[in-house]
Structures are given as C-alpha cells and as structure tokens.
Structure 1
C-alpha cells in the first residue's frame, strides 16, 4: 500500500530534512537510469556524464560556501566521516585541541580516541547558552601547542549560533586551524569560508542542503595538508602505490555515490534559488 505523505507531520529536520524537493528525487532517478557509471574511471559516455554530476555538485557547493576552487571540497558519506577525516588527518601526537563541551559525538569521540591513542590534549569549553562569550573563552584556552580549534556553527542541542567569524579572526591571527561543524547550518545560515576564517568545513548533504542521505563533504583550505582516512581506488595516478596527491581524489577512495550526489547538486541548486536569505539577496554579498 502506498503511504500518504500528507498524513505525516514531520518535525525531525535537524536529523534529516524531509520531504525532499521534487527536483532532488528526479535527479537521483535520472542518474540511476542514465549515469550510473564510475566517474573518473573511464572515458565512455556514461562515465563522463557521471564525472560531470560530481563536478556540478562541487561547483554548486563552492558557490554556496564561497569556496574559490571546488576541488578543495571532498565528498563524504556524512558530517561524521568529514569530521573524522579532518580531526584524525590533521591533529598530530602531542598537539593541543580546543573544542566546546556541546560538540556532537562525531567530534568528541574522535578527540577522545586521539587522547588515548597518540597523547593529544584537549580543552573543552563550556559556552554560555547563546555563545556570545565563546570567542573570548577560546582565546583564554589557547596554548603555544594548540593546533586546532573545533566549533559547531549551530548547536543541535541549544539552537544557538556560535560566533564563528570572531573565532576565525582569532585563529587566523594566531596561525591555528579552525574546523567548523556545519551539520545544522549548511543550507540554512550564510557561510563564507574566507570571510569567516574557516580552514576546514564539515557539512551534511541530507539536512539543510536537502539532498539524499549518504552525502556530505569536507572543505579543506588549499594550503592545508590533511592525511586521508582511507586509501584505495581512484580515477587518477593509478600507476602509483600511494594515494594520489591531487584533490579531491586524495580523499575520495572508492566508487562515489553518484546518484546521491546528483540529488545533492539539485538540493543545493534549490537552496541557492529559494533560501539562505535568497542567496544573500540575489548574490549581492
């Protein structure tokens, strides 16, 4: 029996947005029907079309987040995977990390793992309810060996919006990396990685970007070296035993979720046309 969507009152958008725009569903369907080949692994027509789907999704995300080079965006399965790549690939033994006490487990658990496995030291800040004092609290917590600050843009527990731009100005001045968890803000709040001083941005495709589950990504500033979490098949430098050095291939081992990313591209297009303050009043930012 077909379920009636209009009989559901859905209030779980912070976990996964629903219903998806019709164009997202259609993009997934079209990719499954016509473009389900391995992008970057062949030169036949379907593989080329699949590669274009990934490029289009990266380009749309670059517009939304004001990222100069879309190849600095690596696709991931979700924000959790993106945060794991960023944290485990950037933090080194003996480093000090500053994070808030209201971070998601996708931040807390990798940090606790690194504390136990390689001796990373972590300072957790207790922000006030609205986050207004967070920049000052971060500054007080910094040490000479601090390599990374992690903050969620908007808390899924408190609903508060954190002062990312203030924290970014502080970390840039000190030469410390800033990783932002945009799980609740991507596609909802304006994000400009350069203006806000964001060095790494982890985001989901299935929440505010209106895409399918199993999609998301990680932006990594071009001059940053982050070790890949996974090693394996790519469409480039196949003659070498090492993971490719070029982006985004360095972080995208294995066959990607092309139909899901087709849906993500459609979701981001919808966001760019219909929200995030009407794409900052029709691109005037």
Structure 2
C-alpha cells in the first residue's frame, strides 16, 4: 500500500463524489453555461451560480458576482497583480511567496519599473505585521501575501496585515492556495480585499480550477478579453464577472 504525502502540490486521492459529479456533468449535461436558453445550458448556469454562492459562504464573501473563475491560482494571481500594479508603483510582499507571485512581480519590475519590498520572516517562519507597515511608501499600491507557505506551512497574520493596509488605503491580495478548504478564511473579518485560490488542493477538486474574489469597488485591468456576453462592441468591465 502506497502513502501519498504531496498534498502541498495537489490533493490525492480525490473523493469519489468529485469523480461522480464530473462524470455526471460530462455524460448528462456537457453544455456551456450562459451560451443558450435551452434546458441544459440553464442547468449549467445554475450550477455555476450555486458554486459561486457556496464559495462565498465558505470564504465569508458577500458579492457572488465579483467571484471570477480562472484556470488555476497562478492565473488568478497574475490577473490581480498585473491588473492593479502600474508603472512606478511599489509592491510589498513576503519572503515566503510562491513563484506564482514572485516571478510575476519580478517581470513587472523589468517591464514597468515596479519596486518590490520582500518583508523577511522570523526563524520560526512568521511575518511581523509591523515590518509590513514600516515598508509602506507613498507609491505602494499593493500588498500581496501568502496565507501559508507551501514549504513551511506557517499561517501568516493576514488579518493584522489587512488592518494595516486598510488604514493606509492599500489593497491586500492574499494567496490561499495552501489553505482554501483546509483553514478558516473569512474575507470580511480578515480584512482581505482580493483572495486567490485553487481548487485542486484543500478543496479536493480536479486540476484546472481556480478563482479570484474581488471586493466590490476594486477595478482590475483585464488580463484576457472575450468569452460570453451579448454586447461584443463594448469595452470589458474591470473587476466584474462577465
């Protein structure tokens, strides 16, 4: 009997209910939500709506129309970071970030002359929120933090960091790839402005699923355009599900 210990990369095995749900959909529906008014398309749209509402309940988020599905958490993080940060901005992050954050920031450093401050952690693997506040500059537009490192597993004090960013009017983006479904997360109580998650780890779903919760009022420049919608000649809406 083999023992699987690589859950920081992806959960395994998936629960039978997940496999059954995927099989049921592919075999008995298989349609595109939002692309037609026939029965199967409406049922597919209802499933998407139900999933959004359940995720909002799980994450303490009350704006289902501001929950965007992505291919994975890397895409979600890139969408948020590249959609917010402008030329010359300053970004604060932790020393524990996954490459999904770090490589995105380093590319913006080259492309847009963005400056980056990586706040160090203690030898126990925790970040001191006071160090985050000390790193704030007038040009700081975003603080992006992992909720838990995929290497150390230490839970970072995002609620305290979020209190600091709220006082300074700076957005907080939290990467909860390792904690979604495994640890309590409440967007409102934890002072999170934007939350990025993946479906194939603690949520026990298949690969190829992720998402971004964007608090109302936050505008994000689209990373990609296209997809569903009736008014093809209009510009895409920033920070809204379409």
Same-fold status (TM-score > 0.5): yes
Could you tell me how far 1:144 is from its partner in structure 2?
Answer: 1.1
User: Structure 1: where are the runs of 5+ without partners?
Assistant: 1-6, 250-285
1:102-148 Cα shifts (integer Å, max 9, x gaps): 10000011101111111111111111144545201101111111111
The change in CA–CA distance for 1:246 and 1:225 in structure 2 (over 3 A counts) is closer
Structure 1 runs of 4+ with >3 Å offset: 129-133
Match of 1:118 in 2: 112
Is this contact kept in 2: 1:100–1:125, CA < 8 A? yes
Is this contact kept in 2: 1:125–1:138, CA < 8 A? yes
User: Structure 2: where are the runs of 5+ without partners?
Assistant: none
Out of 170, 181, 190, which is 2:184 matched to?
A: 190
Out of 199, 206, 209, which is 2:203 matched to?
A: 209
| Secondary structure at 2:204 match in 1 | coil
Match of 2:222 in 1: 228
Match of 1:256 in 2: none
Match of 2:236 in 1: 243
Distance in 2 (alpha carbons) for counterparts of 1:119 and 1:245 = 23
Could you tell me how far 1:19 is from its partner in structure 2?
Answer: 1.1
Which of the pair is proportionally richer in helix? 1
Out of 172, 194, 197, which is 1:200 matched to?
A: 194
Match of 1:137 in 2: 131
The change in CA–CA distance for 1:102 and 1:80 in structure 2 (over 3 A counts) is same
Match of 2:8 in 1: 14
1:79 aligns with 2:76: no
Is this contact kept in 1: 2:199–2:207, CA < 8 A? yes
Could you tell me how far 1:228 is from its partner in structure 2?
Answer: 1.1
Q: Superposition RMSD on alpha carbons, in Å?
A: 1.3
How many matched pairs? 242
Could you tell me how far 1:239 is from its partner in structure 2?
Answer: 3.6
Is this contact kept in 1: 2:125–2:152, CA < 8 A? no
1:127 aligns with 2:126: no
Structure 1 residues 149-168: aligned runs within 5 Å: 149-168=143-162
TM-score (norm 1): 0.82
Distance in 2 (alpha carbons) for counterparts of 1:132 and 1:26 = 40
Distance in 1 (alpha carbons) for counterparts of 2:122 and 2:170 = 23
Out of 27, 31, 38, which is 2:32 matched to?
A: 38
Match of 1:263 in 2: none
1:217-244 Cα shifts (integer Å, max 9, x gaps): 001111100011001121x243424224
Could you tell me how far 1:199 is from its partner in structure 2?
Answer: 0.6
Distance in 2 (alpha carbons) for counterparts of 1:20 and 1:216 = 16
| Secondary structure at 1:26 match in 2 | helix
| Secondary structure at 1:99 match in 2 | strand
The change in CA–CA distance for 1:43 and 1:244 in structure 2 (over 3 A counts) is farther
Distance in 2 (alpha carbons) for counterparts of 1:229 and 1:133 = 30
Could you tell me how far 1:61 is from its partner in structure 2?
Answer: 0.4
Out of 51, 61, 67, which is 1:67 matched to?
A: 61
Distance in 1 (alpha carbons) for counterparts of 2:199 and 2:52 = 12
Distance in 2 (alpha carbons) for counterparts of 1:147 and 1:245 = 17
Is this contact kept in 2: 1:129–1:158, CA < 8 A? no
Is this contact kept in 1: 2:222–2:238, CA < 8 A? no
